[in-house]
């Protein structure tokens, strides 16, 4: 999967990394179509330092570049630390020595690009009104791409050839919620009748963390097996996410806990 860097992203990248030169336009032209050079530049820790230190940095770059930078930093930290944490009870965590495995997962540029693009997609969510016929009656239904119930229902009314993006999105929503907002999944279960601030849980059905994880694995698998997957590389990524769903959550959880904190509510639209 290719990196999707905007002109502003390239300018930010060059100005942050190439500190010994000032001919930024010339450097940009040189690296624009050089994936190998871009890979080296994107791994420069100065990028992470800048997006953390400068409040305005989030506004200067695309969400895709932001998450590429954060995923690369998460890989460095988790590989060096060698372990991640898993929650066993409220306010209790235990270390799991899978940091190197997480690092290996993120070593795949295709997986990393997919995760960056997936996270970026949740900074803007969409709803659509769909009309469909059942028997002699015409029905109207509004769907949100943040609700796995809506996406599942829509997959039932469209022809099989149109289901691939819906299956893939269900997998994405499950991965996103269980990694970025796991506390709100728990809150929705513990306090189902409150109107507490739960910005992303648009689910008619009560689900716990394991339910979301199981559905995520299932729908990534269905997406990977769909004939509409045109690129072998994308099929391989979807298969990897289906097989390694718990592991794929770890770098995203690290990002949410260590780098975003309360910025989650500003970055991700409800």
pLDDT at 192: 62
Domain boundaries, the chain: 1-61, 127-267
How large is the angle between the packed helices 63-81 and 245-254, nearest 10 degrees? 100
For 258, which DSSP code?
I
- pTM over the 0.85 mark: yes
pLDDT of residue 132: 75
Residue with tokens 């965590």: 93
- pLDDT beneath 50: ranges in the chain: 196-201
pLDDT reported for residue 201: 47
pLDDT digits (tens, 9 = 90+) for 192-245: 655 544 444 456 678 889 999 999 999 999 999 998 888 899 999 999 999 999
Provide the pLDDT for residue 110. Answer: 94
| Residue 148 near residue 173, CB atoms below 8 Å | yes
Q: What is the pLDDT of residues 27-38, one digit of tens each?
A: 898 888 888 999
Query: Do 31 and 10 form a contact (C-beta atoms < 8 A)?
Result: yes
Q: For residues 167 and 197, what is the distance between their CA atoms, to the nearest angstrom?
A: 28
Report pLDDT for 261.
Answer: 85
């Amino acid at each position: 999967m290719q990196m999707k860097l905007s002109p502003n992203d390239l300018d930010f990248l060059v100005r942050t990394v190439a500190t010994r030169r000032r001919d930024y336009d010339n450097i940009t032209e040189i690296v624009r179509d050089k994936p190998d050079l871009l890979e080296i530049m994107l791994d420069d820790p100065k990028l992470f330092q800048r997006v953390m230190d400068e409040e305005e940095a989030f506004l200067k770059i695309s969400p895709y570049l932001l998450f590429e930078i954060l995923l690369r930093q998460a890989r460095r930290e988790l590989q060096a630390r060698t372990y991640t944490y898993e929650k066993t009870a409220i306010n209790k965590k235990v270390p799991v020595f899978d940091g190197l495995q997480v690092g290996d997962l993120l070593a795949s540029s295709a997986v990393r690009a997919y995760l960056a693009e997936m996270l970026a997609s949740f900074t803007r969510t969409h709803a659509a009104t769909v009309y469909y016929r059942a028997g002699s009656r015409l029905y109207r239904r509004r769907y949100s791409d943040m609700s796995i119930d809506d996406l599942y229902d829509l997959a039932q009314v469209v022809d099989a050839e149109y289901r691939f993006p819906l299956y893939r999105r269900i997998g994405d929503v499950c991965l996103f919620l269980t990694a970025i907002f796991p506390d709100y999944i728990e809150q929705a279960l513990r306090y189902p009748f409150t109107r507490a601030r739960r910005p992303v849980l648009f689910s008619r059905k009560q689900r716990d963390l394991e339910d979301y994880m199981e559905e995520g694995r299932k729908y990534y698998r269905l997406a990977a097996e769909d004939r509409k997957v045109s690129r072998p590389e994308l099929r391989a990524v979807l298969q990897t996410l289906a097989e390694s769903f718990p592991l794929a959550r770890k770098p995203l959880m690290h990002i949410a806990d260590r780098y975003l904190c309360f910025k989650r509510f500003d970055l991700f639209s409800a």
